[in-house]
Amino acid sequence: MRKKLIAANWKMYKTPDETRAFFRDFFPLVVGHERDEIVVCPPYIDLAAALEAARGSNISIGAQNVHWKPEGAFTGEISANMLLSLGITHVIVGHSERRQYFGETDDTVNLRLKAALESGLIPICCVGEVLEEREAGLTDDVLRRQCVRAFHAISSKKAAKLVVAYEPVWAIGTGKTATPELAAEAHAVIRRAAAEIFGEPFASQLRILYGGSVKPENASALMAQEEIDGALVGGASLEAKSFAAIVKY
Ligand code: 13P
């Protein structure tokens, strides 16, 4: 049995004060919840406030990206060491918004993923097709390619902590969720790719989250799929009540 992981991706929302306010409301709603792992990924400037608020609780804090070098002249970037020094445990890598708007490629995703795994951070590596690719029947090829390139030159031993998130780009922020069956099919494609790259035992342990318009109303149907090992939640994670309802699907 793979323990499900429910993660919040706050994207570019909330100040430190708003972060503290979120946790004040959120804690009582999920206190003692052990069935699923809970991770919240706020913007960098909120990480310290989130860590302080979550200390000693059942909630882990993640960042939304990480650079592959330990330090250097890379304006605007943050290294794995920097995140670890704060107490961060998780990091999102290769989100489609990074790929679409900030020039992230399969190769930079691979570099970031390697750096995260080397450092001991738990990466949540995002893959997913855009609408035109789905309509052209290319979904499986795209997912396979993204996995092969993201996992390039990483051993199964190094990849032990890897988490993958399937986020169809057409479902992000659109209110159009993939049906549970459609998501499960895509997860199976990703799991097969992982089996080819890392071996069957690894693939059967790999957690694959679904992301894209996950809401309290659709969470339980998605989580009922055996292939779906959790959720990566954007919009609906910004409000304590709605994120708690998803955690407790
Ligand atoms: P929404 O839940 O807002 O569709 O965002 C999904 C997402 O991109 C999570 O990383």
Report pTM. Answer: 0.98
As annotated, the active-site residues are 95, 167
**Ligand 1, residues 11, 172, 242: which to mutate, most atoms within 8 A of Cβ?**
172
- Count how many domains the chain has: 1
Residue 112 CB contacts under 8 Å (≥ 6 apart), including other chains: 65, 66, 67, 68, 93, 94, 123
User: Of the candidates 57, 53, 54, 58, which has an alpha carbon nearest to the alpha carbon of residue 34?
Assistant: 58
Q: 207-211 and 163-166 as β-strands: parallel, antiparallel, unpaired?
A: parallel
**Ligand 1, residues 5, 6, 9: which to mutate, most atoms within 8 A of Cβ?**
9
CATH assignment of the domain containing 231:
3.20.20.70
User: Of the candidates 28, 15, 89, 9, which has an alpha carbon nearest to the alpha carbon of residue 240?
Assistant: 28
Given this model, what pLDDT does residue 70 score? 97
Question: For residue 236, which atom of ligand 1 is closest to its CA?
Answer: 2
Given this model, what pLDDT does residue 121 score? 98
Given this model, what pLDDT does residue 149 score? 98
Asked if residue 36 has its Cβ within 6 Å of ligand 1, the reply is no
The one-digit pLDDT tens for each residue of the chain (249 residues) are 899 999 999 999 999 999 999 999 999 999 999 999 999 999 999 999 999 999 999 999 999 999 999 999 999 999 999 999 999 999 999 999 999 999 999 999 999 999 999 999 999 999 999 999 999 999 999 999 999 999 999 999 999 999 999 999 999 999 888 999 999 999 999 999 999 999 999 999 999 999 999 999 999 999 999 999 999 999 999 999 999 999 999
The domain in which residue 157 lies consists of: 5-247
